[in-house]
Copies of this chain bind each other. A is one copy, B any other.
């Protein structure tokens, strides 16, 4: 395309049919708001300028556009999309010889090739205005010669005093003025599916999911059951990973190669190495899991947790702000918080770091090769020395020396026949 063009993204409306406190276009699909999806696609076409027309909840809309190279313009009159054109008049008048691509921010499925087709059609046919011909109510995509648009706007806005005015009215005015206006029927109308209701949102979710799954398949990832799997658009997964049903992977997560992710695992903003096995129903949020580690089933890794290479976390185990060393294991029913655990440590079943004393959070350190017996409470701040051994069922309140045995529990006593007598009494 020799001559460049401008883009106008319509993000001022409330989307009342969506029935939400939050303006419709800020609702996310697979980790990105609808607005962001549209802006990313539009910016990929490198238009000369992208105007973002805001109105309802405008601060939130502008914030969502964030550092993107767009120019927000405030549409004060929310009586119809054509008022967005009016609001942008000041900017548009400096670009009278250009074309303007107008897109609703409720078109989260639109991709660059679809917009290019629309643009190419408009130019090849020498149209003054082109609109997207879909079987749906009102079109959500237009192309105008800017000069013609600016001239026709006043008439379009005055002509319909009773109801909202869309760009259809501008097209109508141009047609009456003898200009060439024409509909464009896209080859694959999926791209221009507008989201008006929450049901449309579910459908758009389904289409974007299918696209992501196609991408992953091409990269050598097996997702056995795409229709029950949720993988955010920004997630990266390496070759020969297997993803079982009902898995959800969100945010800025990256996963190495040859990992197995079992049913019901939920990963958020985490870095996973290679050859990692994540067993069923585990929740991993803001954590780092290095190569060859194993997690779950029923494990929960909370933010700032690091599992070093080859370490293992088992069932009903929670880690928070904890660094678990190479080859160390915490396999059953434990809570490890604010801890630094060195390599080759064995954490017995039912171990609890008592990191909170009601006032502040305190740190637990367990040095390399230590063995923590089952059912132990480690009252932080406390350090277990290298190679030390803590007896099962101990409440450890003082540091344990390297290579020592520490025990803190009651002596076992027995009352013969007590249970028989108790039963007899009933």
Contact = CB atoms under 8 A, between A and B. Distances in A.
Contact of A202 (B20, B225, B358, B408): B225
A80 interface: no
B205 A225 contact: yes
Given A201-B222, A419-B388, A281 B258 contact: no
A144 interface: no
Interface stretch (A95-103, A107-115, A166-174, A212-220): A212-220
Given A298-B316, A387-B420, A403-B419, 7 more contacts: A230-B244, A350-B350, A352-B374, A352-B392, A405-B418, A406-B413, A409-B409
Contacts of A404: 414-419
A133 to B, nearest CB: 26
A21 interface: yes
Nearest to A221: B198
Contacts of A327: none
Interface string A196-213: 011101100110000001
5 contacts: A205-B224, A391-B395, A393-B395, A405-B414, A408-B413
A403 B416 CA distance: 7
Interface string A366-409: 00000101110101000000011101111111101101111111
B280 A280 contact: no
A415 B219 CA distance: 57
A37 to B, nearest CB: 15
Looking at chain A, what size class is its interface with the partner chain?
Answer: 35 or more
Contact of A20 (B199, B223, B240): B240
A392 B419 contact: no
A139 to B, nearest CB: 23
Query: Top 3 closest A-B pairs, CB basis?
Result: A19-B220, A393-B395, A405-B418
Contact of A358 (B197, B315, B371, B411): B371
A249 to B, nearest CB: 11
Contacts of A197: 217-218
Nearest to A227: B227
A419 B389 contact: yes
Nearest to A395: B393
- This chain: copies in complex: 3
A416 to B, nearest CB: 5
Contacts of A389: 358, 418-419, 422
B411 A408 contact: yes
Given A239-B19, A245-B230, A318-B333, A395 B375 contact: yes
A224 B202 contact: yes
Contacts of A192: none
B335 A333 contact: yes
Contact of A350 (B279, B346, B352, B414): B352
Name the residue in A258, A388, A395, A416 with the highest tally of chain B Cβ atoms < 10 Å from its Cβ: A395
Contact of A415 (B220, B314, B349, B405): B405
Contacts of A403: 416-420
Contacts of A218: 19, 197-199
Given A223-B202, A348-B354, A350-B352, A266 B248 contact: no
A403 B349 CA distance: 28
Nearest to A332: B335
A284 B297 CA distance: 11
